[in-house]
Amino acid sequence: MSYTGPLTMDERLFIHCYYTTLSRREIAEYLQIPFWTVKTYLDRSNLRLTKQQIAAKNSRIHQLKNNSAQFDAFILANYDKIPAKRIGSIIGKTGGFVTDRYKFLNLVVPAEIKEKFKADSLIKKGSVPPNKGKKLSAEMRAKLEPTFFKKGNVPINTVPIGTERITDDGYIEIKVDNVPMVKNWKLKHRIVWEQHNGAIPKGYNVQFKDGNTQNVVIDNLYIISRSDQLKKNGYTPEALAKRFLNLTQVEVDYMKSQNPALLNLVQKHYLLKREIKQHENK
């Protein structure tokens, strides 16, 4: 994209996602906008790095300056011959790093090459595993036997039934069972509701009247259908940011405190896209 004036919604979101890991010049080069535009936006949005983030970024930039030329040369020579993940393992990087370099270098792997990579990675019908029919030698078995799980073994990190924990979203969960390979945790507010009102009907959720997910008392709970809940809060800026930007509640709260205007832009961007789609479907 070429620079034609104020930052677009996508450009703003890109800056917010990558300002802690990419330099300002890298962001400007990727978005093809002036360096001063990125600098001014970061300053006006009060997007600052901690000392640890600055040190990590400087270390990464220093390393990239020393190695990026060699990495890029290898990627340019092999991007259409070797899958990205394999290139990453060869140069000591992740597949994600390699695909990011593809974007930076404007490289596009042809569709037929992608299909070939995919076909080559699949296990062929009739192929025989190299260890089929082979058993551990007595010496190797004796060496590994102390590491085998014993019948009825309980992992050392197992916690007793009734233990409570808090999820990343701030909800309290209670352990209700110790059955292997089964979800043994249930949301506390759902348990409390069912203790007082019976089973929760299908398609309904239990919500908090005061919005505090830690205040799990029956007087603070109410039940609502998912369709009504969607109408009530599904299109708020916070909900849309969590859903479409894959942000945690902590990240949304931080964005709301530092730059609430960006959350409103997310909402306007989504609603505009929805309106355009509805118009096209008429």
Residue-wise pLDDT for 43-52, tens only, equals: 888 888 777 7
Token digits of residue 166: 């808090």
Which of helix, strand or coil describes residue 165? strand
Q: Is 182 a residue whose pLDDT tops 70?
A: yes
Tens digits of residue pLDDT in 196-207: 999 999 989 999
- Strand arrangement, sheet containing 172-175: 164-166, 172-175, 185-187
Over residues 7-28, the mean pLDDT reads 81
Neighbours of 89 (CB within 10 A): 14
User: How many CB atoms neighbour CB 125 within 10 A?
Assistant: 5
Instruction: Please report which confidence band the pLDDT of residue 1 belongs to, taking 50, 70 and 90 as the band edges.
Output: very low
The confidence band for 233, taking pLDDT boundaries of 50, 70 and 90, is low
pLDDT of residue 63: 62
Coil, helix or strand at residue 78: helix
Q: Say which residue, 61 or 71, is predicted with more confidence.
A: 71
Return the top range by mean pLDDT from 12-16, 60-64, 134-138.
Answer: 12-16
* Tokens linked to 92: 């000591």
Query: Which residues belong to CATH 3.90.75 in the chain?
Result: 164-281
pLDDT of residue 4: 43
CA distance 188 to 261: 34
pLDDT higher at 239 or 204: 204
The answer, yes or no, to whether residue 160 has pLDDT greater than 70, is yes
CATH for 164-281 is 3.90.75
Q: Average pLDDT of the chain?
A: 82
Q: Identify the pLDDT of residue 24.
A: 80
Among 275, 280, 240, 198, residue whose Cα is nearest residue 13: 240
CB 183 within 8 A of CB 202: no
